[in-house]
Amino acid sequence: RDSQQAETEHLSRWKRWRRTSSKSLKKALSEVRGLSSYLVLWRRDIHSIEGKFGTGIQSYFSFLRFLVLLNFIIFILVFSFVILPIIISKYGIFNSTIAYISPKNIDKNCTIYEPSGNKGLVYFYTYLKDLFSGTGFLEVTSLFYGYYTIDTVWISVMRYNLPLAYLLATFAYLALSFLWIMKRSGEGFMQNLVHDADPFQSYCNKVFAGWDFCITDPNAAQLKHRSLQYELQMDLQEEKLKQKIAERTMKEKLRIYSLRIFINIIVIAILSGCFYAIYRVTVFSQGNSNVSIRNDTRTDSPNLFMQYLPSMVITLVNFNGPLIFAFLIRYEDYAPALEIKLTLMRCVFVRLANIGVLLFSLWGQISNCDTDKCKPCGYNYKLYPCWESDVGREMYKLMIFDFLVILAVPLFVDFPRRLLVTHCSCKLIQWFGQKEFQISDNVLEIIYGQTICWIGTFFSPLLPAIATIKYFIIFYVKKVILIHTCKPAARPIRASSSNFFFLGMLLIGLILAFIPLGVSIARIPSSKACGPFRNFNTSWEVIPDTVLQFPTALQQILFGMASEAFAVPFFMIICIIMFYVIALARAHKRVVEQLREQLVLESHDKMFLIRKIAEAQR
């Protein structure tokens, strides 16, 4: 306080006024921030988790909160651009009307589509069954793509092009997710690039920033002490191991590399087996839905089990894959940190590739054109008159099943385990012990769910709303599991590396989501019997169509940008900029090294001079 007051006396009047005004501005900002902190979702819950379990697990829950917000914003985006105009015109607000699409130049057969919304008296359980399998009464609601067979919406005298809005909303939510994730992971990524020493393994980081000052519970503190001790000992051991590895002989290296190649081949074989199994199950499940192929009509299987068969197989593979990988990687003799990373990479790949395989096998069925079935329309129109709704339905089922599994596992596995451990003192059960909160498994679960949501939103616009509610409920479920059944992990993951890891995996999921969406928008002909893209060959065509309606000058510019004459030089310029920046970074690193050496020399000089002074004084 004294030093600040002394400072203010020395300033001129102008500067004093500036300082007081900036202070009052800061005060106002802090008031606003104080108010808005009340609005942050779940602030107190996450704070209490942080106090008891540390920042590693807290970062998982912050990640969950981020996903709830992301899905909510995506839903608002899709709702306001696609669903809201339809609602406005359905109720005739602002004098608005809808113009439905009339098919032009299309073979009559392609446009036959009679969704069997339940007519007449049905048993109540049919509604329940429809809710879970997305058929029946759900098929004709705005949940699925087939509902949006609307060309334009006239709001007073303005023409609202719904197909264009639908496609652009899809691109917009993908771009928004991409940018938001990049922004959140920006900091960790920069640090990783600039500093060559691996900051996550650095000893200084572990010792100086090791203790979590947020911990308030003495039991948690005890556990933290033990985990720090364990972590430091592990790192020291790993360092000794690395030295040993560096001293390996040529013969040993050959043996280990050939063993690794062999194990990788096994892993690839297992993965191919799983993918093939998913493919066969999807084909079988779709085939079972076609009850009377003789009449070339398709009615969905009444059997709920058959409908959920692909989801069940995928969940089974997702569950067993990590166990097999963890077992195999022990023989590959990697350093422990690398082991963990590799296992996680493989698990992520399996989970995301499963979704891809499901989609591609579906498309195989849809474009199954062996006996002239696709001639008029480009896809198998008899069995799949509205194929986007079918794909949307599979995504919906995946999401519902994922949610049910996440709810069921704690109920039937974790709570009984906890009850057994506390009440039964049998040796075997005590050896099993209480469950640890496995952050990586839980994160993979959420990323799997989020990837489904991203892919599925194009085919089923209400999916983000379902995802928001799902993650909202999952937050509370996981919190209850954490507090009541888990003990904190012996090997905690650090907060910074976890944040970067979660966002990196999410980004991989997003980029992998681009592929199926790209294929279905640009390659596969859109269904002619339903949906906003009836009159176009593919969904993408709505954009060139709109561009053709622009004035000629703008058209030429846009077509010029899309042609090779522009793309190739653009790509080359980007490469040149990238190489320049990399060279700059390397030069900076060299300067830093030189400055370090200079500092060492300076201190030697200082020591030398001090010794000289001491001698001279004698």
Partner 1 sequence: GAMGGSASLIPRDLLGEYQELTFLSKQEILLAYKRFSELLPKEERESAFSARVPKSHILTLPELRANPFQHRICHVFSTSETGDDSMSFEDFLDMLSVFSDSATSDIKSYYAFRIFDFDDDGTLDRKDLEQLVNCLTGQGEESRLSSAEMEQLIHNILEESDIDRDGTINLSEFQHVVSRSPDFASSFKIVL
| Minimum distance, C-beta of residue 254 to partner 1, in the bound complex (Å) | 31
Report the relative pairing of strands 97-100 and 158-161 from DSSP bridges: unpaired
Q: Which amino acid is at 33?
A: R
Output b/e per residue, 199-234; b: 16+ Cβ within 10 A: ebeeeebeeeeeebeebeeeebeebbeebbeebeee
Neighbours of 572 (CB within 10 A): 10
| Minimum distance, C-beta of residue 493 to partner 1, in the bound complex (Å) | 11
Report the relative pairing of strands 158-161 and 150-155 from DSSP bridges: antiparallel
- CB nearer partner 1, residue 209 or residue 584: 209
- CB nearer partner 1, residue 156 or residue 603: 603
* DSSP secondary structure letter of residue 299: B
* DSSP secondary structure letter of residue 290: B
The site for partner 1 (CB under 8 A) is made up of 1, 4, 23, 27, 30-31, 33-34, 47, 55, 188, 191, 195, 197, 199-200, 202-205, 207-218, 220-222, 225-226, 228-229, 232-233, 236, 239, 494-497, 596, 599-600, 602-604, 606-607
- CB nearer partner 1, residue 202 or residue 367: 202
Spatial neighbors of 127 by CB under 8 A, at least 6 apart, are 118, 136, 137
- CB nearer partner 1, residue 217 or residue 441: 217
Token output for 40: 């942050």
Token output for 602: 């300076």
| Minimum distance, C-beta of residue 478 to partner 1, in the bound complex (Å) | 21
- CB nearer partner 1, residue 217 or residue 296: 217
Alpha carbon of 205 to those of 209, 367, 492: distances in Å? 5, 55, 15
Spatial neighbors of 55 by CB under 8 A, at least 6 apart, are 212, 214, 494, 495
- CB nearer partner 1, residue 199 or residue 376: 199
| Minimum distance, C-beta of residue 125 to partner 1, in the bound complex (Å) | 51
User: What's the distance, CA 332 to chain centroid?
Assistant: 29
Place of tokens 């089923």: 460
- CB nearer partner 1, residue 107 or residue 217: 217
| Minimum distance, C-beta of residue 203 to partner 1, in the bound complex (Å) | 5
| Minimum distance, C-beta of residue 584 to partner 1, in the bound complex (Å) | 20
| Minimum distance, C-beta of residue 215 to partner 1, in the bound complex (Å) | 5
- CB nearer partner 1, residue 33 or residue 423: 33
- CB nearer partner 1, residue 428 or residue 600: 600
- CB nearer partner 1, residue 52 or residue 397: 52
Q: Which amino acid is at 601?
A: L
Cα–Cα distance for residue pair 351/421, rounded to 1 Å: 32
Which sign does the torsion angle of CA 454, 459, 463, 464 carry? positive
Spatial neighbors of 298 by CB under 8 A, at least 6 apart, are 289, 290, 291, 382, 383, 384
| Minimum distance, C-beta of residue 69 to partner 1, in the bound complex (Å) | 20
Spatial contact of 149 and 535, defined as CB atoms under 8 Å apart:
no
Cα–Cα distance for residue pair 154/85, rounded to 1 Å: 9
| Minimum distance, C-beta of residue 603 to partner 1, in the bound complex (Å) | 3
| Minimum distance, C-beta of residue 47 to partner 1, in the bound complex (Å) | 7
Spatial contact of 333 and 491, defined as CB atoms under 8 Å apart:
no
